[in-house]
Structure 1
Amino acid sequence: MSTFLLEIVTPERKVYAEQVNMIVVKGVAGDLGILPHHIPMVTPLKIAPVHIKQGSTDLYIAVSGGFMEVGKDKVIILAESAELPGDIDVERAKVAKTRAESRLNDKATHIDFHRAELAMQKALMRINVSEKRF
């Protein structure tokens, strides 16, 4: 079975670098499945898990936005943040979710609802990846 190199990089570090068979990401225009020898492209990504297939193994990595560049034999995801399931602080994510919910339910005009919505999306994604709920 063919593979390609997947690298997931944040401003702080390289989170993941392995040969994989397939990935599925959420681009701004919808879901994208990438297999070996995919046509080269660049696309912005939504806040969503990256689904990685390595043989019979499935792995999900929490990725908060960024861009994906598909090359001939390599895919690079440049993410604002990315976390492997074992690196996610679930309690911190649950606190962030509760805080975002509170802000979204607050009717005060000084609340930045867009920022609260993004915080909610990130918290839910982190919780879902850590608890393997997809």
Structure 2
Amino acid sequence: MADNSVLTVSIVTPDGKVYECETATLVVVRTMSGQLGIMPNHIPVIASLEVDEAKVKHDGNEDEIAVNGGFVEFSDNNLTIIADSAEKQGDIDVDRATNAQHRAEEHLKEARQKHDDQDILRTQVALKRAINRIHVAKR
């Protein structure tokens, strides 16, 4: 019989499973509508995710995962995040993320000079992802 006082959390990307926890007591994510906290026995939810961190509280600890878009689905105390990409805090290469941030900032300047709206939007997403990775890694 399943334990109704905990959540099972899985974060998957096109490359496979990034994170799993079977003893979570709280998951906090940022959806397109705002921040969402999910505890055991929460009503079922499906929501699109922003580029932000996912926080998973379990066993007196808190794990932080950089999640870059996707969606969250919750039902029957099982929470699944399907993300475009995701990295656990300890797996983030800060130097690589910082280089990506600098490249995106330079590219954004060029795109704005060219007034290329599509390129501006694409580059803003890349910049947001890099900043998110840095933020999560440095917590």
Return the TM-score normalized by structure 2: 0.90
SS in 1 for 2:42: coil
Residue of structure 1 equivalent to 2:137: 130
Partner of 2:42: 38
- 1:90 aligns to what? 94
- Offset from partner CA, 1:73-97 (integer Å, 9 cap, x none): 2001001101011211111111110
* Runs ≥4 residues deviating over 3 A: none
| Residue in structure 2 matched with residue 113 of structure 1 by the alignment | 120
Distance, in Å, in 2 between the alignment partners of 1:130 and 1:92 is 12
Deviation at 1:125, TM superposition (A): 0.5
Q: 2:7 aligns with which of 4, 13, 19?
A: 4
- Distance in 1, matches of 2:104 and 2:69, equals 18
How many angstroms does 1:110 deviate by?
A: 4.2
Q: CA deviation at 1:55?
A: 2.9
Structure 2 runs not aligned, ≥5 long: none
2:104 to 100, 104, 107: 100
Sequence identity of aligned pairs in percent?
Answer: 39
Question: In the TM superposition, what whole-angstrom CA distance separates every residue of 1:64-117 from its partner, at most 9, and x where no partner exists?
Answer: 000100111200100110101121111111111001111222312347000110
Offset from partner CA, 1:48-76 (integer Å, 9 cap, x none): 00011113211110000001001112001
Instruction: Please say if 1:58 is aligned against 2:62.
Output: yes
Distance 1:129 1:110 in 2: 30
